[in-house]
Structure 1
Amino acid sequence: MKLQDLFTGHSGFTTKTGAELPDLDIKGLSSDARKVEPGFLFIAIKGSKADGHDFIVDAIGRGAVALVVQDGARVPDSFSGPVIISAEIRLLVDRLASRFWGDPSQKMFCVGVTGTNGKTSTTYLVETVLNAGHLPCGVIGTVNHHLGDKVWPSDMTTPDPIFLQKRLKEFQEDGAQAAALEVSSHALDQARADSVNFDVAVFTNLTRDHLDYHQDMESYFAAKQRLFLDLLHGTLKPKPRAIVNIGDEWGRKLRISDRAALWTYGASDADFRHQIIASEFTGTVFHVECPFGALDIDFPMPGDHNVQNAVAALAVGLAAGLDLEQAASALSKFHGVPGRLQAVPNMTGLHVFVDYAHSPDALENVLLTLRNIREGMGSPARIWVIFGCGGDRDRGKRPEMGRIAESLADQVVVTSDNPRTEDPNAIIADILGGLQQKTKAHSIVDRSAAIHFAIENAIPGDVILIAGKGHEDYQVVGTEKRPFRDAEVADTALRARGNS
């Protein structure tokens, strides 16, 4: 693409020399100097951890023929190519990426899901529903990026705009007619998805998390609200729709663009209302009523929080043109999500689950789900929870999660969960600060040993929740990523118990 064509119609930039942009071929875009190839446009962004301006020389050495920067003085005088300067560089690069890759989101039914909890499950559920409606759907999110059997790894919930638009283009070329995206608060704050033309935006909930970045809940909420105020307002889709959980206090406060239609769920006065009929460890039967009718759904996931995600996906399907029975039938065939109340099969009589719950609300929801099922079955089984809190992250949630674990579990095992550069013992001490009876908790720094301890000491019928990491296949200690997967460790411990 020609450099002039790439920038045509955009504003918020100048050239360093004041000259017009030359007729220059651009072969690719990158904000990572390590990925620059000959003919690329390099974008230097000042981030919270790294400054792209520090890598301009490296990018030029790798073949960058043009630069977009925030600080023109940081460009070496020896560089003879065009230098574009922008104070709103994140917004600009987002638009450039969409233009470079041919605005792929305009050609697909695009769904953005945001919220503290439930983003991953909801996007997987949306995928299931839209696939059933003959709208092949790609997914971009925390676990991975995938379209059908084709899977790409993911290293963040919402990728940078260059990578995001490229992935959407790949989806489109591979036959996708829809895409479901997890849209994180970081991404919304950094304008990573502003040029995605969303048809539907879903708000699942808002609870304490990421306050190391956003500082307070109001700022966190403001970032989430951008999806509904700014992105739905700016979408090129003709009839955008917001689907909002008003069972959440922040959902009731959420403002949406006057361009967008609204459906609500999660409360008795919502457009989509549900009632649980029966719940077991293997799934839930629930009744749903909505403007399109009413029916019962046999849904193969336990817990009201999962049912709420299913209702949101049902609404997305109806917004996409499916009929109610078609969407409901798809939900009944759902295969689950890696690391989201994922059962670990075994012959020991234990009910072992791995879940990504790493915020206070998520931990509370999952533990309440397991308690309610246990009580509904009249079981005397104990509930165990194994969890920790991430290092170099919001310390304020640690005692809160300790309090929740103590109040809802019978046996608490506090351990490590990506301690990063913090002392794991200090993190555990912060968690224990929320317990009234610290002697109730077992403190085991080594996560593998903690899982083995619980499985070795549980009795048949007990429920064990291994929380915090879910699908993750690593443990971050210091700055090192070490291979680690909760489900595999649990399986090893269960096999050892079964053979003892």
Structure 2
Amino acid sequence: MKLHQLFSFFDLNAAQASADEQHKSLFEQEVTGLFFDARLVTPGSVFVAIKGNEKDGHQFIDEAIKNGAIAVVVENKSKVLNNESFLVVEAPDTRQFLDLLAARFYNFPSQELFCIGVTGTNGKTSITYILEHILNANNKLTGVMGTINHRVGEKIWNSQMTTPDPVTLQSRLREFKNLGAVTAAMEVSSHALEQKRAESVHFDTVIFTNLTLDHLDYHKTMQSYFQAKQKLFTDQMWSSTKKPKFAVINIDDSYGRKLKVADEVVTWTYGQKESDFQFKILKMSFTETEFELKTPFEMMKLTVPLSGMHTIYNIVASAVAALSCGVPLAQSFQSLKDFRGIPGRLQIVDLNKDKTVFVDYAHTPDALKNVLNSLNEVRKNSNLKNKIITVFGCGGDRDKSKRPLMAKIACELSDQVFITSDNPRTEDPHVIIKEIEHGVPTDFKDFNIEVDREKAIQAAILQAFPGDVILIAGKGHEDYQIIGTEKKYFSDFDVARKYL
């Protein structure tokens, strides 16, 4: 794509510059890429200067030009010296403009795919995995972008964050399409919505899972956190050109009940309470769940090879979203009969051992409560008398308000608790653990402190008796631990298997 083609799409002064003799030759050049990190700029590319939390891209314009940028996008053109070797374009909000520019550069790939966005505190990753399985099984090749990785078919890319930057996002959607995908399922984080990383994605269907305490280090209040999530259902769906458009909302969640949705969006609700797709758990074991589902069309009795109340919420949301994509409910549930679960989401380490060890990503109070409630429900229904032992910690440089809440929940719903490190990052892990300890009820005595996460997992497994259940919570699929600024290999799953 030539430079004039890239910029002529927008209502900017770039159109006037195209008539400027000084820059005429520039406008005929092929654009080789888009960048917002000056260090990565390559010859023939466009650099967009963005103001971040710690650094301002406008300070690195000279570096971008030195590296070969033929155009720079800034918020104040007067502060950049004009030069015939590069074009300067002014945009009032460069962060938003990068999103638009990326969509234009990759020729609006979301318009060519059925796009499903999933947001909420918990459940995003699980839903994208379940959706991928259902849709692929029904001849709708699906690309996925999320916390664990980006993937389509046999092709896998690493993931650096839940929702990538606009350039990565749009290029990945284009790659999905080029590799034969007809559908894209992506996790949409509150950070991404605030930072306008996905504004140019035209969604067909959006899903709201729940909203619970998390990310208050960033959003400050639950109301701000909620307003960030709501943008996906109002502004984003209003601007989407897709027809029809769908919103799938969990109305058992108090925030789900007050979520506003843009006009012309078909809203389908789900949950255990009165809703369009209402479910009721009939029976649950550590490996499967039987439930009833009342829909606008029929009553269904179903069994899925997964455990956990929260898992059924995710399965129902996925099946309803697949319905919006043209897959009948019965076919969706039939597809799940050979589904083997999600990495790090209530994942059993080894079924053949006399102690049952689960690894789960639960790193928020609500997620930990949901997982432990499910394990307690299975124990109660099976008349088991064995202990539930929980190993967990809390991440450093993240929301501190949830630390004592996590301890309170772990102690209330477990028989024994090991408090340890998660990803301490630049915080002192001993200080993090002290803050967690504040939530331990005074009458709960069977808790242990072990800063070393591997030693904590080892102790929990070796002290357990046959039949006991051990939950290792917080890191799930992650295969690293961040201590200071160093990222080293660490897998809860591998460590647990080592000591079983």
Is residue 310–residue 331 contact of structure 1 (8 Å, CA) maintained in 2? no
Letter in 2 for 1:431: I
Is residue 132–residue 326 contact of structure 1 (8 Å, CA) maintained in 2? no
Counterpart mapping for 1:79-158 below 5 A: 80-158=85-163
Counterpart mapping for 1:349-360 below 5 A: 349-360=354-365
Aligned residues: 493
Equivalents in 2 of 1:18, 1:4: separation in Å?
9
Is residue 399–residue 431 contact of structure 1 (8 Å, CA) maintained in 2? yes
- Look up the match of 1:370: 375
Counterpart mapping for 1:473-488 below 5 A: 473-488=479-494
- Against the structure 1 CA distance between its residues 38 and 365, is the aligned structure 2 distance closer, same or farther, given a 3 Å change threshold? same
Counterpart mapping for 1:199-210 below 5 A: 199-210=204-215
- Look up the match of 1:177: 182
Is residue 196–residue 235 contact of structure 1 (8 Å, CA) maintained in 2? yes
Is residue 246–residue 267 contact of structure 2 (8 Å, CA) maintained in 1? yes
Letter in 2 for 1:436: P
So what's the TM-score if we normalise by structure 1? 0.95
Answering whether residue 461 of structure 2 is matched by residue 461 of structure 1, we say no
- Look up the match of 2:422: 417
- Look up the match of 1:46: 51
Match for 2:440 among 432, 435, 441?
Answer: 435
Consecutive unaligned residues of structure 1, counting only runs of 5 or more, are 495-500
Answering whether residue 183 of structure 2 is matched by residue 165 of structure 1, we say no
Letter in 2 for 1:452: Q
Letter in 1 for 2:395: G
Letter in 1 for 2:281: I
Is residue 65–residue 86 contact of structure 2 (8 Å, CA) maintained in 1? no
Answering whether residue 217 of structure 2 is matched by residue 231 of structure 1, we say no
- Look up the match of 2:304: 299
Equivalents in 1 of 2:325, 2:398: separation in Å?
38
Identify the range of structure 1 (476-485 vs 340-349) with the bigger mean alpha-carbon deviation: 340-349
Letter in 1 for 2:155: K
Q: CA deviation at 1:294?
A: 2.4
Is residue 289–residue 295 contact of structure 1 (8 Å, CA) maintained in 2? yes
- Provide runs of 4+ in structure 1 moved above 3 Å: 13-22, 71-80
Letter in 2 for 1:160: D
Counterpart mapping for 1:206-285 below 5 A: 206-285=211-290
- Look up the match of 2:431: 426
Q: CA deviation at 1:253?
A: 0.6
Is residue 110–residue 198 contact of structure 1 (8 Å, CA) maintained in 2? yes
Answering whether residue 456 of structure 2 is matched by residue 447 of structure 1, we say no
- Look up the match of 1:10: 10
Identify the range of structure 1 (81-90 vs 223-232) with the bigger mean alpha-carbon deviation: 81-90
Equivalents in 1 of 2:441, 2:329: separation in Å?
48
Identify the range of structure 1 (156-165 vs 341-350) with the bigger mean alpha-carbon deviation: 341-350
Is residue 16–residue 72 contact of structure 1 (8 Å, CA) maintained in 2? no
3-state SS in 2 of match to 1:139: strand
- Against the structure 1 CA distance between its residues 377 and 267, is the aligned structure 2 distance closer, same or farther, given a 3 Å change threshold? closer
3-state SS in 2 of match to 1:227: coil
3-state SS in 2 of match to 1:244: strand
- Look up the match of 2:395: 390
- Against the structure 1 CA distance between its residues 16 and 81, is the aligned structure 2 distance closer, same or farther, given a 3 Å change threshold? farther
Is residue 272–residue 288 contact of structure 1 (8 Å, CA) maintained in 2? yes
Letter in 2 for 1:8: S
- Look up the match of 2:196: 191
Answering whether residue 472 of structure 2 is matched by residue 493 of structure 1, we say no
Q: CA deviation at 1:317?
A: 1.3
3-state SS in 2 of match to 1:461: coil
Is residue 355–residue 470 contact of structure 1 (8 Å, CA) maintained in 2? yes
Is residue 283–residue 299 contact of structure 1 (8 Å, CA) maintained in 2? yes
Q: Percent identity?
A: 50
Match for 2:293 among 283, 288, 297?
Answer: 288
Match for 1:32 among 22, 32, 37?
Answer: 37
Q: CA deviation at 1:51?
A: 2.1
- Look up the match of 1:497: none
So what's the TM-score if we normalise by structure 2? 0.95
3-state SS in 2 of match to 1:402: helix
3-state SS in 2 of match to 1:389: coil
Q: CA deviation at 1:14?
A: 4.5
Identify the range of structure 1 (156-165 vs 331-340) with the bigger mean alpha-carbon deviation: 331-340
- Against the structure 1 CA distance between its residues 358 and 73, is the aligned structure 2 distance closer, same or farther, given a 3 Å change threshold? farther
3-state SS in 2 of match to 1:228: coil
Is residue 82–residue 88 contact of structure 2 (8 Å, CA) maintained in 1? no
Answering whether residue 315 of structure 2 is matched by residue 310 of structure 1, we say yes
Q: CA deviation at 1:369?
A: 0.6
Consecutive unaligned residues of structure 2, counting only runs of 5 or more, are none
